[in-house]
């Protein structure tokens, strides 16, 4: 495993307690332990944001390791790494940002983050996929 992969995977793992806290927040909402009044739309978007954060962080961790096995040039490897990190932030952030406010029943302007995240996710997985297909059976590259 390369040094950048170790560093970035470590940083990704450090973010997991924020996802855990989001799960705790959702538990307080659905259990009625919170006085926070949310609309059905807000509950749905907060759940979606939490779920996407968890899934995309797992994808980012797997993707970080796979980057080392690609036949991408250094710039392509860094594009994949950065996009893998940004995708969960933007996608889940877009769900949260578009539902924040009092009595929100439809997406606010924060939904733009979600669409940006979807585009960044596409760049990440396409770059990684193409790099892996091109690599064939080559040994991992350093850096």
Give pLDDT tens digits for 37-69. 889 999 999 999 999 999 999 999 999 999 999
Tokens, residue 71: 């036949």
| pLDDT of 142 higher than 80 | no
pLDDT tens figures, 76-101: 999 999 999 999 999 999 999 999 99
Query: What pLDDT sits at residue 34?
Result: 80
Q: Tell me, what's the pLDDT at 129?
A: 96
3-state secondary structure of 91: helix
Half-sphere exposure of 34 (CA within 13 A, CB side): 12
Provide the pLDDT for residue 138: 65
Using pLDDT thresholds of 50, 70 and 90, give the confidence band for residue 21. very high
Cβ-count burial of 72 within 10 angstroms (0-12 exposed, 13-18 middle, 19+ buried)? buried
Measuring CA to CA, which residue among 8, 94, 3, 21 is closest to residue 52? 94
What's the pLDDT score for residue 69?
93
Q: Is the pLDDT of residue 139 over 70?
A: no
Asked whether residue 73 carries a pLDDT value surpassing 60, the answer given is yes
């Amino acid at each position: 495993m390369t040094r950048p992969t170790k560093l970035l995977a470590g940083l990704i793992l450090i973010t997991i307690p924020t996802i855990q806290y989001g799960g705790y927040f959702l538990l307080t909402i659905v259990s009625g332990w919170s006085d926070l009044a949310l609309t059905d739309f807000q509950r749905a978007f907060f759940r979606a944001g939490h779920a996407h954060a968890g899934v995309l962080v797992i994808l980012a961790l797997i993707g970080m390791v796979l980057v080392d096995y690609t036949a991408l040039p250094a710039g392509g490897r860094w594009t994949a790494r950065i996009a893998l990190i940004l995708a969960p932030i933007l996608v889940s952030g877009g769900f949260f940002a578009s539902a924040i406010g009092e009595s929100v029943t439809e997406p606010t302007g924060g939904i733009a983050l979600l669409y940006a995240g979807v585009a960044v996710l596409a760049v990440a997985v396409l770059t990684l996929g193409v790099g892996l297909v091109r690599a064939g059976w080559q040994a991992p590259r350093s850096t």
